[in-house]
Structure 1
Amino acid sequence: MQTNTPPRAAVSNEKSVSTAIVIGAGMGGLAAAMRLGAKGYQVTVIDRLDMPGGRGSSISMGGHRFDLGPTIVTVPQELRALWALCGRDFDKDVDLRAIDPFYEITFPDGSKFTASQSTEKMRAEVARLSPGDLAGYDKFLKDSEKRYSFGFENLGRRSMHELWELIKVLPTFGMLRADRSVFAHARSRVKDPRLQMALSFHPLFIGGDPLHVTSMYILVSFLEKEYGVHYAMGGVAAIAKAMAGVIESQGGRFVFGAEADEILVRGGRAAGVKLTDGREMMADIVVSNADAGHTYDRLLRNHAKKRWTPAKLKRTRWSMGLFVWYFGTKGTRDMWQDAGQHTIVSGPRYEGLLDDIFMKGKLAEDMSLYVHRPSVIDPSCAPAGDDTFYALSPVPHLGHDNGVNWSEMAETYKASVLKVLDERLLPGLADRLTDNQVVFTPETFRSRYLSPVGAGFSIEPRIFQSAWFRPHNISEEVPGLYLVGAGTHPGAGVPGVISTAQVMDTLVPPAPRPMPRAGAGADRLVAE
């Protein structure tokens, strides 16, 4: 159903129903809405896009479905637990497939490293590349498990909004050498530069510079090994659609095509949201899944801030930007056997390229690429016999003094990406390209997702921008306001943003009275 008027945030036959507005239908916002619905709140989710998912949405073109953001699912038990909380079975709503091997890294010298779940296969890969590094790799795995236990299962599941919570864990941070970077830790365990890259690049998946992000993030190596890497048939957008279905079955409602302009503060508390067209929606609590920087700098621009002031946000270090080329190919399904579902094409430089991207803000001539080919496992994303790809290159965000003008550089850079793909992974690609292509640059991230400086993953997860130092899940600026998403604690990535909603859930009081439940056919609204 379509309407020109968003619904009131509270619509019920009962006089006392607690209401909530969630700004943004990204994965964090959807998870928050599910939890609020399970708590008894009547939830309205607003989003400026025309579908749920945020960065996890998709674009369809000429029979190709381009999954715009996340491509894998790790720690699937987090999603299963979320569904169970809502009285639902995740595996009945989503077809999740395990992927093994996880990905392949191709190096400039022609060598390769294949990552898989089996410890023995991983040890064999290490021994094949650099036998002398096997003992160091074994130590690295033990290091990773310790940091997973502390960083993900402990810190990642509880609120860090009180300074005392940080003080209590400082000794553990010291013992685990949280001051050391991911790359420095990998380098302390293995000597082969290829293995140093293979064990340290993971922070790039959540917007962090491996040369500076805390070594706590080596936990990803254990997380992958313990729980595997998965793909949702239909892409992450299928998970977002299933989440929206759960919310609707709880009586929640969606207003798409509606952009929040301001969080309304009444009587010293968050009281609702004003849309860009001037309409107002009121609620008992507000949850923002908008970027934390956008929330404080734009949505609370008329409210004095104690901590997240414009000056502080200006000093914040943001994640890198992303150049992503989504493209379809014709008649290639049986070609390019070396190109699996996930391939990392490592460039000629590692440390130097990272320094250019994160520190110098320089668009380098060389590049490293992450290439996703979902049609290997999911025929629904491309016409029969064809392929759907995306090639992602980390690039500087827009906030550097020498920021890139992507309106001038996008086509030139795409040609450079094409050249690398043709030479390293997909020979003859130019002759197989279809007209079904989309390019996202940091300027797209700024305009489509309202991401400050066009950052791909919000605030960079450095040690002094993590835990207590990161925007809290309960706002210290306005009572009744809660934050979820990549820019909040514990951070980016699908497991991270799902966990931000879990932490928020511990802070939001239960609704005082249960609301009447609507059926699975609750209306989805589109603001015109």
Structure 2
Amino acid sequence: MSQEMQNAKTAVVIGSGFGGLSLAIRLQSAGIATTLVEKRDKFGGRAYVYEQDGFTFDAGPTVITDPTCLQELFALSGRKLENYVELMPVSPFYQLRWEDGATFDYVNDQAELERQIAAFCPADVDGYRRFRSYSERLLEEGYVKLGHVPFPDFRSMVRVAPQLVALQSYRSVYSKVSQYVSDEHLRQAFSFHSLLVGGNPFATSSIYALIHALERRWGVWFPRGGTGALINKGLVQLFKDLGGEVTLSTSVSRIETANGRVSAVVAEDGRRFAADIVASNADVVHTYRDLLKDEPLARPTAQSLMRKRFSMSLFVIYFGLRREHPELKHHIILFGRRYRELINEIFKGPALPEDFSLYLHAPSVTDPSLAPQGCSTYYVLSPVPHLAAAPIDWSVEGPRYRDRILDYLEARILPGLKSDLATCRIFTPQDFNTELNAHLGSAFSLEPILTQSAYFRAHNADDKIKGLYLVGAGTHPGAGIPGVVGSAKATARVILEDQRELAEAQ
């Protein structure tokens, strides 16, 4: 252990999502003996894996958009990602389909993109070029420079405010996209990305328009064996190779503190994991309200977080078919008949909308090994209100909603779906709440609006409790794989700085 690390003998990371795993790898690589504690029987958090009737289903994130942030985790110890997991390019990035029959293949070829844009509106080609330039500037300022930098105090926010104002980050994603293109199909095509990180395109800061440039720069990828292979064969194996300790099926009941400092993580079965450092990759409200319920210093933060706006939830159907559909693209967005009105109802409720827009994931198009021979595997998700926005009894509504969505898919894109159906399961907002401890069943934690960005999100290091840190979607920079991996980098930076200061003081 290095000299500056000798005062930090142990660290415990709660939760094994992309953020928790990335932070655990960084701490272990830095010489801090780290234990990863996971509630469920498999690693991954939202990136869980279901195996059912011979089919493999990635439960959550499926779009890898910045391989470099993952490669960096392996490079910390002189290793290479490609020696653990193969990433395969996906093209088109997405296929977009509208109910009027229009389609758009979102590819990384500039000439082909412009040809498709011109088919919708010739005048929007120049507008798209200007939008891409704007998105590139956002990428540099909002992701490359700030995506892994902690915002510990208000002064840190003030320092970057001029750049954010100059980029008009106070405007919404949809508003900025509309400044560049006039066709409504194209406005939707270049604004829907914020939904992938829990943001309403009509309310989310335009800084999230950087996702377009991020995809254009680094591409869209899919791991051979699925996202679960990236988790288990990649990040978990790397952590073990570094000497990290892991424990599954271990539900944490509380974070123990003494004199304003963390001292241990205590499991529901009574096991106690002593620690100088505790980092929570669990839901931020769950962390402060439940795991720190005995610590008075945590109550103001818990109350503050519960007053914030949370992202929508998701209704997910995982299903396998007894036939292949090679004509499909890997990632498909099916826009419904409404856009603005539907999104407004998804984020504000008060009920489940009658119509829906869907994301269909067809991974066996890229990797046939995820389904039995001659079969194909899918998941389809529908953004829905969280539990407070629409008090729905999902034990009753879930099967009905599943059938509505499957009927829609059969009529629109998967003929014969019901007769070909081999296996099926659902995951509802209530499951997000109970399985993942997600506050209100939110799928992406805090909603990414400007007043809940950077300093205004949960902080990477707690302001009052020494040795307590956070990582994941509720912290800066937010949800999505690049976001939570960036969060881990920011949190690791704060932890290592704190340890150096502690060593110098002693």
TM range (shorter): over 0.9
1:312 correspondence with 2:315: no
- Specify the alignment match of 2:504 in structure 1: none
5 Å-filtered alignment, 1:67-466, equals 67-241=58-232, 242-305=234-297, 308-330=300-322, 332-333=323-324, 335=325, 337=327, 339-400=328-389, 402-434=390-422, 436-466=423-453
CA contact (8 A) 2:313 2:429 kept: yes
Amino acid in structure 1 at the alignment position of 2:372: P
State the Cα RMSD in Å.
1.6
Give the superposition deviation at 1:391.
0.5
- Specify the alignment match of 2:474 in structure 1: 487
CA contact (8 A) 2:63 2:222 kept: yes
Amino acid in structure 2 at the alignment position of 1:348: R
Distance in structure 1 (CA, Å) of the matches to 2:349 and 2:419: 36
1:476 aligned counterpart, secondary structure: coil
Deviates more, 1:369-378 or 1:169-178: 169-178
Give the superposition deviation at 1:364.
0.6
Deviates more, 1:123-132 or 1:465-474: 123-132
- Specify the alignment match of 1:518 in structure 2: none
- 1:290-324 per-residue CA deviation (whole Å, 9 max, x = no partner) reads 01121111111121247853432232111100000
Give the superposition deviation at 1:277.
2.4
Amino acid in structure 2 at the alignment position of 1:395: V
Distance in structure 2 (CA, Å) of the matches to 1:188 and 1:381: 42
Q: 1:141 to 1:17 in 2, by over 3 A?
A: closer
CA contact (8 A) 1:35 1:86 kept: no
Distance in structure 2 (CA, Å) of the matches to 1:306 and 1:196: 43
Structure 1 residue runs of 4+, over 6 Å off? none
* Structure 1: 5+ residue stretches without partners: 1-9, 513-528
Distance in structure 2 (CA, Å) of the matches to 1:477 and 1:430: 55
Whichever structure has more helix as a proportion of its residues is 2
Distance in structure 1 (CA, Å) of the matches to 2:326 and 2:108: 24
Q: TM-score, normalised by structure 2?
A: 0.95
- 1:45-104 per-residue CA deviation (whole Å, 9 max, x = no partner) reads 111111211111201011100100011211101111111002211110011011111110
- 1:354-402 per-residue CA deviation (whole Å, 9 max, x = no partner) reads 00010234211100010001000112210001000101000000012x4
CA contact (8 A) 1:343 1:372 kept: yes
Amino acid in structure 2 at the alignment position of 1:422: E
Amino acid in structure 1 at the alignment position of 2:462: S
- Specify the alignment match of 2:489 in structure 1: 502
Aligned-residue sequence identity (percent) comes to 39
CA contact (8 A) 1:318 1:458 kept: yes
Distance in structure 1 (CA, Å) of the matches to 2:300 and 2:118: 48
- Specify the alignment match of 2:37 in structure 1: 46
CA contact (8 A) 1:34 1:86 kept: no
- Specify the alignment match of 2:57 in structure 1: 66
CA contact (8 A) 1:342 1:370 kept: yes
Give the superposition deviation at 1:135.
1.6
Give the superposition deviation at 1:329.
0.2
1:508 aligned counterpart, secondary structure: helix
- 1:186-237 per-residue CA deviation (whole Å, 9 max, x = no partner) reads 1121111111110100011111111100000000010111110000011111
CA contact (8 A) 1:483 1:504 kept: yes
Give the superposition deviation at 1:130.
1.4
Amino acid in structure 1 at the alignment position of 2:375: D
- Specify the alignment match of 2:503 in structure 1: none
Distance in structure 1 (CA, Å) of the matches to 2:220 and 2:335: 21
Amino acid in structure 2 at the alignment position of 1:409: E
CA contact (8 A) 2:285 2:306 kept: no
Give the superposition deviation at 1:336.
6.2
Q: TM-score, normalised by structure 1?
A: 0.91
Distance in structure 2 (CA, Å) of the matches to 1:499 and 1:314: 24
